[in-house]
Chain A
Amino acid sequence: MTAALSIQGLTKSFAGVRAIRDLSFEVPKGVTTALIGPNGAGKTTVFNLVSGVYGVDAGTITVNGVDVTHMPSRKRIGTGIARSFQNIRLMAHLTVLENMLVGQHVRNASLGALLTPYRLFPNHRWKVEAREALAESGLEAWADETVGALPYGVRKRIDLVRATLAGASLLMLDEPAAGLNPSETNALREHLKVLMGKGITLLVVEHDMHFVNSICQNVVVLNFGEKIAEGPLSKVRQDQKVREAYIGSEEA
């Protein structure tokens, strides 16, 4: 079976500093994977390379069997990949529903769709679909609110619904649980489990190890842009290199 995401020999430097060095790992379909490591290890850089925000120096990135290494960033969503940002990136001036409609773009990209006056029809199928997706996650009450005014935890989950509306089969989440209170974290976990139940593969960057433990089957550990360990969290935790990276070598 082809992997949801396969990274081979990925390398990226910024002004001579190697941010990612010869990184290789795979995210098999349906295996929720965490990318962990100390601050500055290169986790977000990996997301930026995979989503195409940065170009790669060397290596290949394959999503669902399609080589996206040199594909323009806006075309990559067509291969089934979507991502969230560490600081939530919703369009603040649009309503929740309108953000969902932008999320549907990749499945409605024709000129005809672009010029359809959907706003004239209260029950246009795009709006109905978006409302249903919000309702499924218990977020329908927010549909007509402007995004900028909503609570943080709600915005995080709206970001997830938008990604699913884009038809993503591989979702990269950058610190989804950061800044959430315990009940918001629980709501997020339930939401992610629903997505996993729908067959969406998750790749998660996260510092909260309880959270990682509760949803991830596989963990890839980065330090200084290199992979230092891979496997189930319980096994990775015992790894000497991982302990040194996290705690500091003097304690090891």
Chain B
Amino acid sequence: MKRKVKAKIYLTILLILITICLAGCWDSLELNKRSIVSGLGWDLDPKTGEVTFTVQSIVPGGGQSSSNISGQQQGGSQTRSIQVDKDTGPGMYDAITRLTQHVSRFPFYPHTKVYIFGKEGAQYGIYQFFDVQARNPDSRPNALIVVSAEKKASDIMNIPDGLEKIQAFGMAAEINLSAQYSKYPAVTVFDFQKRIMSKTTAPIAPIVGIAKEIGSEGREIKKLRVAGTAVFKGDKMIGELNERESSGLLWAINKVKIGFITVPEADLEVVKAKSKIIPELQGDKIKITVEISEDSDLVLFKRRQDITVGVVRELEKDLEKEIKNQVMASVEKSFALDADIFGFGEAVHRKYKKEWKELQPKWDDIYPQIEVEVKVDAHLKKIGDIYKAL
């Protein structure tokens, strides 16, 4: 009896093996039949409604001879490390399918680091893309959202990036670095989804443009540059924040990590920062208090003067004023755009969930009327290696 059972068990194992073997390997695709996509561009022509899909893929083993110096002319002995393909079709999947007509390999998306939207497409609305993105298991929630400063996404996908072999990775690194230094936000798919799903909060995304320089032989060299923050309303881009406003935004939404602030007489390095949005319902009016506390170190003091307690206090005051101005600049801009980029609405929702039911439908009208107060509590911590002027 026991042996019979055992035989049966082995029979089952055999069965498993047979089924698996007969099954073949549907999902197996060799690496040399896939092209690894590093960056994805999405454009929509507002006139025709046609979608352009741009794929930047990694050339395996490309860019091996690393003799090129940044800014030097491209080509020569250098092999390509990326390849950019694009195609246009009446719909997104038409465009993707048409790509197969001139791309030899199956595009493989899960390693995509950036999703780039052409400005035109972004202004038209990018809901389509996010729908596909969220439905499709191939996408990663950590990829960064970028809006191209140029019309088309493909315009910035061909510009070689200095240090990185693969341009899209370089672009992602630039965005992350600028976010780390609290210049512009780095927005992942997750962040964007959260904001797009909120009824009031406006999505944001960094803008990447082209910076032109004159190189050694008088030739024009193009480089990538993070150049602003795009503000969306719903899924449509409606405006952008400049550098100062972007920093102000980051201060208000507690995204400042480190960075430098210039006040009239000194440069300061932010080492610690924290902010809080406190809503208050006063009758019909809404008052928002943004509380910011930050610590910073002195890195440059322009006056040739010893640093005394008085100077420190003075600097702190300047610092507070500067941060406040930055935040207010972004608030003004967001009021002008009528886009709740700070998530004030959600803050009110969290605190006044009953009242929120009435407030939410008319939030667009209420928003520009909000009274915003910024309270900054800045501290100067270290003053560097010297304690007197040179």
Please say whether chains A and B are actual partners in one complex.
Answer: no
